[in-house]
Structure 1
Amino acid sequence: MSDKFFNKPFRLSSLFSGNGIQSTDLGKSISNHIELIIFTRYGEHRYQQNFGCEIWDLDFELIVSESIWEEKFRKSLLKSITDHELRIYNMSVDIHIAEVENVYPMRKITEIKKKVDISVRALIKATGEKYFFNTALFLSPLST
């Protein structure tokens, strides 16, 4: 495995100007890859149809039970990370969904969104160090 990791997004302008591509450390590279897994829909990657996660199919699903929805998404994400991010092991994925209400009094608009908090804990194979990834997504904008 290479010891050189590249930052995303790639800045092609710096490459063409002769400065090369900006590199990053192992932890940031793993985080970038996990973000890519989260934001990719199954079937979107032409050569790896199983790359991605189920969030795109679950986004428009009517949420009858938040705990069932969280567990479905957690299992999907855990499987994808286990299959595609080979630099970490002993993973746990936590998903929590909550409603967030934004009120815009000047425009007389209330916006309700679903916020999904995603946490991944693991160990890095190369060093044995603890690894932690955390992000939040907003789904289903509802406005009045």
Structure 2
Amino acid sequence: MNGQYYKLPLNLGGVLQKKDMPVCTLEESVSQHIHLLITTVLGENKDDPEYGCQLWESDFDIKASNNEVKERVEMAVRAAIVKYEKRLSQLRVVAIVSQEELNMAAGRKVKKKIKVSVNGTLARNNNPFHYSSYFYVSPLSFD
């Protein structure tokens, strides 16, 4: 149905049992899609090898400065959204890179924390849109 958006992850078992799938708003759908784009490595989607975000090509580049990482993340996220999320216009992507010490089972580790903010306008209704998330790289992990 046009204008109906489904929550991720999809529960296809419910579809087989003819249950209604959980729905979400347009804003939630766009946010879910941006999160999926950011966390998908190029080539991971077998139907479209270009789907995903270029930033994972340099996930293990520990020599890059925070400013270089910031620029790469902003360009990669922006390019992925422009290509695959047509429901947004007037797009602005901002990344903030910092170092954070994490307590892990194997001991303390220092990782790069990347906070990504996406602002724009929803093309359907001209409402402002905001998405914000963070993750750690080298290697990728979430809170």
The normalised TM-score by structure 1 is 0.87
Does structure 1 retain, via aligned residues, the 8 Å contact 2:27–2:129?
Answer: yes
1:96-111 → structure 2 map (5 Å cutoff): 96-103=96-103, 109-111=107-109
Structure-2 separation of matches of 1:57 and 1:46: 17
CA separation of 1:63 and 1:92: change in aligned 2, threshold 3 A: farther
Q: Deviations over 1:35-64 (max 9, x none)?
A: 111111112222322211122112101233
Does structure 1 retain, via aligned residues, the 8 Å contact 2:61–2:138?
Answer: no
Does structure 2 retain, via aligned residues, the 8 Å contact 1:7–1:29?
Answer: yes
Deviates more, 1:77-86 or 1:107-116: 107-116
Secondary structure of the 1:21 match is: coil
CA displacement at 1:17 relative to structure 2: 3.0
CA displacement at 1:108 relative to structure 2: 8.7
Which consecutive residues of structure 1, in runs of 5 or more, have no partner in the other structure? none
Does structure 2 retain, via aligned residues, the 8 Å contact 1:115–1:136?
Answer: yes
CA separation of 1:19 and 1:29: change in aligned 2, threshold 3 A: same
Structure-1 separation of matches of 2:3 and 2:47: 25
1:114 corresponds in structure 2 to: 112
Structure-1 separation of matches of 2:45 and 2:12: 21
1:133 corresponds in structure 2 to: 131
2:20 corresponds in structure 1 to: 20
Give 1 or 2 for the bigger CA radius of gyration: 1
1:1-144 → structure 2 map (5 Å cutoff): 2-103=2-103, 109-140=107-138
CA separation of 1:103 and 1:3: change in aligned 2, threshold 3 A: closer
CA separation of 1:16 and 1:35: change in aligned 2, threshold 3 A: same
The normalised TM-score by structure 2 is 0.87
Does structure 2 retain, via aligned residues, the 8 Å contact 1:58–1:73?
Answer: no
Does structure 2 retain, via aligned residues, the 8 Å contact 1:4–1:23?
Answer: yes
Aligned residues with identical type, % of pairs: 23
Which consecutive residues of structure 2, in runs of 5 or more, have no partner in the other structure? none
Structure-2 separation of matches of 1:85 and 1:64: 29
Does structure 2 retain, via aligned residues, the 8 Å contact 1:63–1:69?
Answer: no
Deviates more, 1:13-22 or 1:3-12: 13-22
